[in-house]
Structure 1
Amino acid sequence: MSLYQLNMAAADSRELLFLPLGGAGEIGMNLNLFGYDGRWLMVDLGVTFGDDSTPVDVIMPDPSFIVERKSELVGIVLTHAHEDHIGAVAHLWPRLRCPIYCTPFTASVLRRKLAEAGLAREVPLHEIPLGGSVDLDPFQVEFISMTHSILEPSALAIRTPVGTVLHTGDWKFDPEPLLGDAVDFDALRRLGDEGVLALIGDSTNVFREGEAGSEATVREALTELIGESENRVAVACFASNVARLTSVYHAAAQHGRKVALVGRSLRKMDESARENGYLQGIPRFLTEEEGARAEPNEIVLLCTGSQGEPRAALARIANGDHPNIVLEEGDTVIFSSRVIPGNEKSIGKLQDKLVRAGVELITEDDHDIHVSGHPARDELARMYSLIRPKIAVPVHGELRHLHEHAFLAEECQVPHTVVAENGEVVKLGPGTPTILDKVNVGRLALDGSRLVPLSGPSIRQRQRLVQNGIAVVTLVLGSDGGLKADPVLALHGLLDAESEEDQKLVTKARDSVRFAVESLDAGSRKSDDTLLKETARIAVRRSLYSTLGLKPIADVQIVRV
């Protein structure tokens, strides 16, 4: 099916379409579209974060497909406030300019992001009460309360003339949620009894047997560990896990300690939670400055940076350049978080620095100090028994997760499964579900204050700079075309200026450039700058490749005197 046919299908044939532009075949960057009768509904608009392979911090899906159809976009519905579900809103909303719908806590978190982007008064942001619904013709969307590692996660029952879709968002079945609503099992049972066409579901933990576990277990473990420490304790966790904040508070209070928040994102989450009445009975957390002045055996420092992020609080503390907080020999750092795949190196480096400073480390490998917010296999099977969909479409996972989820859904007697990656257009109904076509998808990088294609020339060139360095050659020529001095080479990210051996390589590269330039005829040297630059560029790259095995970006400057 061509894009023209796709447009006709959405506009005329009354087919219900599902199109992921992010989050299918990867974990993060969630952007999902549902199409029917010439109208589109977006669910979530998130980011992911750069790693060693990318020279940028924030990456998000390219929304070009729906931007071209923004007049047909009825709105954006957000399932919860994690960055991989709402982090791109402030960056991409100016291209979409449509209403946004979410629960009150998610709205509080999003408002702060919109204010920082100067969009607070522009974006029509509508709060939907927990368990509420909104009519976005031809889609009727009901919010169903779930549990996760953040407040107010909601599954979405999306009702259409073709049938009802349950988009689960991120979820688990926490038997003892310590903060926020419990799972609305009545709503899930009612939905299953009404009949569900398709379940679009979280695949993150499909390889994990059993259940994800409860926050109550974590609170018990933290209470025990903090009680065993005689000195300062720091706890690193995901800032968005407000239930974990309360667990740290109660664990600290059991041993006469107060808690200080160290990190901007923690303070923002604290503010958003209190705005919505979630931290009643918990006194104000201490500031960083107050935490620094407290006696070591009377304080717990709750820190950002559990994933080794270089700008987060814990990394700055480990580097010794935090303005307020110091960790010393005999202190303890508890990593109350999991290692997100891809962050192993950064976390390892951070933990090495802490150990070098004499700090004791405790991780989830040692104690039950973290539980996942995503469903393991038993929870997925229970969800399928409640909902009994005709179709399962796994999302929120790498390709291996999606295929395993599809296999599990088949074991749970789901009649049809469809594994679709980003850009693949799935027809959910009427009739047999199938992949109709694939539309173009891409990635945008936040480069400073600009959004640029991740595969574009500026990012590609920066990656080459990181991998191979840069060589700048300056040629000074007289009116007769002859060199007035040796070529000047500036090599960045290639050689050690203080090494005698490396200086020999610089001399060799300079001589190669001079020989290549002087081999040109006088006429070319006098008037053909293009040929001169290309000759010098090739010469310096060949020389450095022969000696270093690197092909740096080469820039040639010509000065005529």
Structure 2
Amino acid sequence: MNLNLYGHAGKWLMLDLGVTFADSRMPGIDLILPDPTFIEDRKDDLIALVLTHAHEDHIGAVPYLWDRLQCPIYATPFTAALVRRKLQEVGLEREVELNILPMNGKVTLGPFACELVTLTHSIPEPNAVAIETALGTVLHTGDWKLDPEPLIGPTADRKRLEELGSSGVLAMVCDSTNVFSPGTSGSEAEVRESLIQMIAPLTGRVAVTTFASNVARIASIGVAAAAADRHLVLVGRSMHRVVEAAKETGYLTDLPPTLDEDEAGYLPKDKVLYLCTGSQGEPRGAMARIARGEHRHIALGAGDTAIFSSKIIPGNEIPLGETHNQLATAGVRVITEKGNFIHVSGHPNRDELAAMYAWVRPEISVPVHGEARHLVEHSAFARALQVRHAPIIKNGDVLRLAPGEPAFVGAVEAGRLALDGDILVEIDDPAIVARRKISFAGHIVVTLVLDAKGKLAADPDVVLAGLAEEEGGDLAADIVEAVQAALPRGRGGDADTLAEAARQAARKAANRLTGRKPVTDVQVIRLRG
């Protein structure tokens, strides 16, 4: 996820405000957001938020965090269309000042003169932002690649990038995602031809899943469906939302007419192509629900084909593997990027990075958007291309670009927030920590009922959750016995002391009997005399 801040002359400019998705280590949590506390405390000096493009890791936090920032937002038409829909869902569309910039647009925001520079990526309208200040120009690339045939939108504006390089660029803050990958990342036009050839001879139903935001891929799948004489069916809310936004802003004008899911059920098997969400095996995505046999209108079986036109994002191997196996068990042929040319990356490989450095010629390279090993490799790569400085930054680092040599001058709070239902909490909130522990080790609740003198008025009550027990065993009864043995006989005691003795006894008994150390809570009820 991305939240970038540029400071100059006492003012701040934010670029992007995104989310990432939680994994199995955070049960019950869907979204992780950046903690904006640092800039929230300085929001009077926050000039604006400029969005480079519409991927979730760049815009997804806007509806959740804007109220804490309350600054104007600037975006190109397609990005603005998707942001507007997000704001409508939370009732903020009338409160947020959402300004639309044209491609290659310019706007002066306080001490920052910003210019959008067209690039290519796996979504419409990706932009670098050239930020001109009194101390120099910074080029923030956002996510990008150099696609010679992007299918949707123009190619990268090489001429303007070279002009910026000739004028002098102080620093380039640049995408590191594919720095280990040689050559170039490939073209969407090549993927289109491959999909057409792959889908044409297939029999039975065909379901294709891809990233819903990849409008060029959606267009290609539409072309492949038409070439195979199949009707295109959009499946999944985000797929409908992106297609609607694309058409609203002038894209997908040639997309074949689409059918609703319920209508497609009346078509012959070889006349339908389902375009589905869920390319990463997301449990609520359309493809995963189809694979589990839980979709209301769509079922796949023997003789059908499922095509995953996307890469496997690290961390999603397990849910995707489950989805693939469920489909295969049902007799569905599963086609992925492994061994099949059905996807290209939206990020620059080494040859593309080298070309960008040759055009822009920055004094400083600041690698971003990657894991630590990507940033280290990108820094070394930039230095090999004769960039004088290539500092490696961490979340929260404050890097001074000018005046003088680049230097780290401090660090600010840069934590993470979790969206727990409708509530934003810190990533280490006690509720989340407890839930994680319970999910791994189980939970015991012991209830003690004490009389007016502090003596047990009844046997302890034990409730277990998430703890296995041997067949024929009675784990709860064994824990009750252990708690009784740990409490003083025939005399009362301080409620807190009794509760702690009961907690330790229950937990030790559970560990002895199950090998687990469950979260253990004790409730004390005192009866009045």
The two structures have a TM-score, normalised by structure 2, of 0.97
1:70 corresponds to which residue? Answer: 43
1:335 corresponds to which residue? Answer: 308
Instruction: Indicate whether 1:547 and 2:527 are aligned.
Output: no
Output one character per residue of 1:456-495: Cα deviation in whole Å (capped at 9) or x when no partner.
Answer: 2111111111111110112234456544443221110112
2:17 corresponds to which residue? Answer: 45
2:352 corresponds to which residue? Answer: 379
The amino acid that maps onto 1:515 is A
- With a CA cutoff of 8 Å and minimum separation of 6, indicate the structure with the bigger relative contact order: 1
Q: Which runs of 5+ in 2 are unaligned?
A: none
Mapped to 2, the partners of 1:119 and 1:553 lie a distance apart of 40
2:6 corresponds to which residue? Answer: 34
The amino acid that maps onto 2:383 is E
Output one character per residue of 1:108-161: Cα deviation in whole Å (capped at 9) or x when no partner.
Answer: 010000000100000000000001111002001100111000000000000000
Output one character per residue of 1:218-264: Cα deviation in whole Å (capped at 9) or x when no partner.
Answer: 11111111112110000010000011110001011111111100000
Instruction: Indicate whether 1:512 and 2:482 are aligned.
Output: yes
Superposed counterparts of 1:336-485, under 5 Å: 336-479=309-452, 481-485=454-458
Mapped to 2, the partners of 1:323 and 1:270 lie a distance apart of 22
Mapped to 2, the partners of 1:414 and 1:278 lie a distance apart of 38
Q: Which moved more, 1:374-383 or 1:183-192?
A: 183-192
2:499 corresponds to which residue? Answer: 533
* Contact 1:213–1:371 (8 Å) recurs in 2: yes
Mapped to 2, the partners of 1:416 and 1:231 lie a distance apart of 57
The amino acid that maps onto 1:414 is V
Mapped to 2, the partners of 1:474 and 1:174 lie a distance apart of 65
The amino acid that maps onto 2:165 is G
Mapped to 1, the partners of 2:230 and 2:196 lie a distance apart of 11
Instruction: Indicate whether 1:256 and 2:248 are aligned.
Output: no
Superposed counterparts of 1:111-190, under 5 Å: 111-190=84-163
The amino acid that maps onto 2:506 is V
Output one character per residue of 1:300-351: Cα deviation in whole Å (capped at 9) or x when no partner.
Answer: 1000001010011111111111111111111100000000011111111111
Mapped to 2, the partners of 1:59 and 1:281 lie a distance apart of 36
SS at match of 2:258: coil
Mapped to 2, the partners of 1:239 and 1:391 lie a distance apart of 35
* Contact 1:260–1:290 (8 Å) recurs in 2: no
Instruction: Indicate whether 1:94 and 2:63 are aligned.
Output: no
Mapped to 1, the partners of 2:445 and 2:45 lie a distance apart of 50
* Contact 2:120–2:146 (8 Å) recurs in 1: yes
* Contact 1:105–1:152 (8 Å) recurs in 2: yes
Q: 1:500 to 1:486 in 2, by over 3 A?
A: farther
Output one character per residue of 1:507-537: Cα deviation in whole Å (capped at 9) or x when no partner.
Answer: 32221101112x256131xxx2212211111
2:219 corresponds to which residue? Answer: 246
Mapped to 1, the partners of 2:212 and 2:103 lie a distance apart of 22
* Contact 1:291–1:299 (8 Å) recurs in 2: yes
1:282 corresponds to which residue? Answer: 255
The two structures have a TM-score, normalised by structure 1, of 0.92
1:104 corresponds to which residue? Answer: 77
Q: CA deviation at 1:501?
A: 4.5
The runs of 4+ residues in structure 1 deviating greater than 6 Å are none
Q: 1:502 to 1:400 in 2, by over 3 A?
A: farther
Q: 1:502 to 1:106 in 2, by over 3 A?
A: farther
The amino acid that maps onto 1:438 is A
Mapped to 1, the partners of 2:189 and 2:361 lie a distance apart of 30
Mapped to 2, the partners of 1:307 and 1:192 lie a distance apart of 38
* Contact 1:47–1:61 (8 Å) recurs in 2: yes
Q: 1:145 to 1:520 in 2, by over 3 A?
A: farther
1:558 corresponds to which residue? Answer: 524
Mapped to 2, the partners of 1:150 and 1:286 lie a distance apart of 24
* Contact 2:127–2:142 (8 Å) recurs in 1: yes
* Contact 2:232–2:257 (8 Å) recurs in 1: no
2:292 corresponds to which residue? Answer: 319
Mapped to 2, the partners of 1:290 and 1:386 lie a distance apart of 52
SS at match of 1:555: strand
1:523 corresponds to which residue? Answer: 492
* Contact 2:222–2:256 (8 Å) recurs in 1: no
* Contact 1:334–1:361 (8 Å) recurs in 2: yes
Q: CA deviation at 1:558?
A: 3.0
The amino acid that maps onto 1:239 is A
Mapped to 1, the partners of 2:392 and 2:315 lie a distance apart of 24
Q: CA deviation at 1:556?
A: 1.8
* Contact 2:52–2:142 (8 Å) recurs in 1: yes
The amino acid that maps onto 1:41 is L
Mapped to 2, the partners of 1:448 and 1:179 lie a distance apart of 36
SS at match of 1:406: helix
Q: CA deviation at 1:366?
A: 2.2
Mapped to 2, the partners of 1:76 and 1:478 lie a distance apart of 62
The percentage of counterpart residues that share the same residue type is 53
2:471 corresponds to which residue? Answer: 500
Q: Which runs of 5+ in 1 are unaligned?
A: 1-28
The amino acid that maps onto 1:522 is R
Mapped to 2, the partners of 1:538 and 1:125 lie a distance apart of 56
Q: CA RMSD in A?
A: 1.3
Mapped to 1, the partners of 2:406 and 2:455 lie a distance apart of 73
2:202 corresponds to which residue? Answer: 229
The amino acid that maps onto 2:39 is I
Output one character per residue of 1:7-48: Cα deviation in whole Å (capped at 9) or x when no partner.
Answer: xxxxxxxxxxxxxxxxxxxxxx10000000100000000000
The amino acid that maps onto 2:269 is P
1:3 corresponds to which residue? Answer: none
